[in-house]
């Protein structure tokens, strides 16, 4: 890991097992650590990318009855099955605690399957007093269950290394509309209110510009809120289950540096393409076939193109 020059956010991508990558790093390096590890769903997580072309004999009907043919572009996937999930997670959580600065915050993003067990583990590592919030990310998308209430939320646990001294930039919280604006007056209604610990936000649309095609990609809006509020400009953030690199984009957009780690070759390729405008440094600790001179960029603009590409 390299130290960025003062005032110039940097982005590093490391390919390899996160324990092996982090083991030689000194402690107290990061101001914010967010991880979205596999949820132990017991199945392979995959997403197939499709493209449609105009074809009168196609399999889809579009606007004004026009016919289109579906073309499969490829599938991205990873296995999400662990015999002993907590044994897999524990050494990585211990490293997260070690790598946090004294005023740093740690966010663990899971769902109902493992979050309760993970909280007990984190209480032992950080201390129960360091638990600050459980954030519920609620969404309303997809099929409905018929034999139970449909699970439509994820759980994000927030721990502060020092519960008496951590970053919380209240003035940088994005505001949301009042549900009953007529009850609060025009000034408050225009300003909006701060969110509670339940965050309503749609998933990444399968057909939206934000999508990278990587399975389990999280919305930029959710991760940007965490980065803006729980770190300061110039801080360094870490995600060692980086996936599609959403933390990296959120950090760069908001003037923070980021270090991303993943052991999935496809994930690193996606990050390299998505974040190409900021020319990330890619460290290969495995046999990864990545072209370091790759110039393909995502169709969405990453804020700070000129500043960081020239750095």
87-91, 122-126, 286-290: which range is least confident on average?
286-290
Whether 179 and 277 map to the same domain: the answer is: yes
Check: CB of residue 104 under 8 Å from CB of residue 31: yes
* Res 72 pLDDT > 90: no
Pairing mode, if any, of strands 198-200 and 11-15? Answer: unpaired
pLDDT at 78: 36
Residues 292 and 143 in one domain: yes
Q: How high does pLDDT run on average in the chain?
A: 83
pLDDT exceeds 50 at position 266: yes
Task: Report if residue 2 sits inside a domain.
Answer: no
Q: What are the pLDDT digits (tens) for 165-214?
A: 999 999 999 999 999 999 999 999 999 999 999 999 999 988 889 999 88
The reported pLDDT for the residue numbered 310 is 31
Are 21 and 58 part of one and the same domain? no
Cα–Cα distance list, 84 to 8, 27, 80, 87, 93 (Å): 41, 27, 12, 5, 15
- pLDDT bracket for residue 83 (50, 70, 90): confident
The answer to whether residue 5 sits within a structural domain is no
Q: Are residues 199 and 299 part of one domain?
A: yes
* Shared domain check, 131 and 55: no
Point out the least confidently predicted range of 43-52, 57-66, 238-247.
43-52
55 or 241, which is more confident: 241
* The predicted structure's pLDDT at residue 38: 87
Residue 36 located in a structural domain: yes
Considering 80, 103, 134, which residue would you say is the last residue of a domain? 80
Is residue 298 pLDDT above 80, yes or no?
A: no
- 255 shares a domain with 132: yes
Q: Confirm whether 100 is domain-assigned.
A: yes
Within a domain: residue 275? yes
Segment among 30-39, 105-114, 288-297 with least mean pLDDT = 288-297
Tell me: do 69 and 189 sit in the same domain: no
| 99 vs 18: CA distance, rounded Å | 13
Q: Say whether pLDDT at 75 is over 80.
A: no
Helix (H, G, I), strand (E, B) or coil at 186: helix
Number of domains present in the structure of the chain = 2
Indicate if 163 and 125 belong to the same structural domain: yes
Residue 31 in any domain: the answer is yes
Cα separation of 21 and 240, whole Å? 9
Split at pLDDT 50, 70, 90, the class of 76 is very low
Residue 4, in any domain of the structure: no
Based on the fold, state whether residues 17 and 93 are members of the same structural domain.
yes
Lowest mean pLDDT among 55-69, 103-117, 272-286: 55-69
pLDDT digits (tens, 9 = 90+) for 127-164: 999 999 999 999 998 889 999 999 999 999 999 999 99
49 and 194 together in one domain: no
273 lies in the same domain as 295: yes
> What would the mean pLDDT of 254-278 be, rounded to a whole number?
95
pTM of the model: 0.80
1 within domain boundaries: no
Q: What percent of the chain has pLDDT over 90?
A: 67
Which residues constitute the domain of residue 67? 45-80
Residue 269: pLDDT over 90: yes
What CATH number should be reported for the domain holding residue 87?
3.40.50.150
Q: What confidence score (pLDDT) does residue 260 get?
A: 97
Q: Considering 34, 53, 80, which residue would you say is the last residue of a domain?
A: 80
Average the pLDDT over each of 25-39, 176-190, 197-211, 272-286 and give the range with the smallest value.
Answer: 272-286
Q: Give the DSSP letter string of 2-58.
A: -PPPTT---EEEEES-HHHHHTTSPSS-EEEEEE------SEEEEEEEEEEEE-TT-
């Amino acid at each position: 890991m390299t130290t960025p020059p003062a005032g110039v956010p940097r982005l590093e991508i490391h390919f390899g097992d996160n324990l092996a990558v982090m083991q030689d790093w000194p402690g107290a390096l990061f101001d914010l650590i967010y991880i979205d590890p596999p949820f132990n769903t017991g199945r392979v997580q995959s997403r197939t990318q499709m493209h449609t072309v105009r074809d009168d004999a196609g399999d889809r009907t579009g606007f004004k009855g026009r016919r289109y043919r579906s073309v499969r572009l490829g599938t991205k996937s990873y296995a999400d099955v662990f015999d002993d999930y907590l044994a897999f997670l524990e050494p990585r959580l211990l490293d997260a605690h070690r790598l946090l600065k004294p005023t740093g915050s740690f966010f663990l993003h899971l769902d109902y399957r493992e979050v309760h067990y993970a909280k007990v583990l984190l209480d032992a590592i950080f201390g129960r007093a360091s638990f600050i919030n459980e954030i519920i990310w609620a969404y309303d998308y997809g099929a409905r269950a018929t034999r139970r209430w449909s699970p439509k939320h994820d759980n994000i646990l927030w721990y502060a290394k020092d519960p008496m001294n951590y970053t919380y930039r209240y003035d940088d919280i994005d505001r949301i509309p009042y549900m009953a604006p007529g009850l609060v007056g025009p000034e408050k209604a225009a300003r909006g209110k701060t969110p509670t610990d339940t965050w309503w936000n749609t998933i990444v649309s399968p057909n939206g510009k934000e999508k990278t095609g990587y399975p389990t990609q999280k919305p930029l809006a959710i991760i940007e809120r965490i980065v803006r509020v729980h770190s300061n400009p110039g801080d360094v953030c870490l995600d060692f289950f980086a996936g599609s690199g959403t933390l990296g984009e959120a950090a760069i957009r908001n003037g923070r540096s980021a270090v991303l780690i993943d052991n999935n070759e496809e994930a690193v390729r996606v990050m390299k393409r998505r974040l190409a405008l900021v020319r990330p440094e890619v460290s290969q600790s495995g046999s990864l076939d990545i072209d370091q001179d790759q110039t393909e960029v995502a169709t969405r603009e990453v804020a700070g193109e000129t500043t960081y590409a020239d750095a």
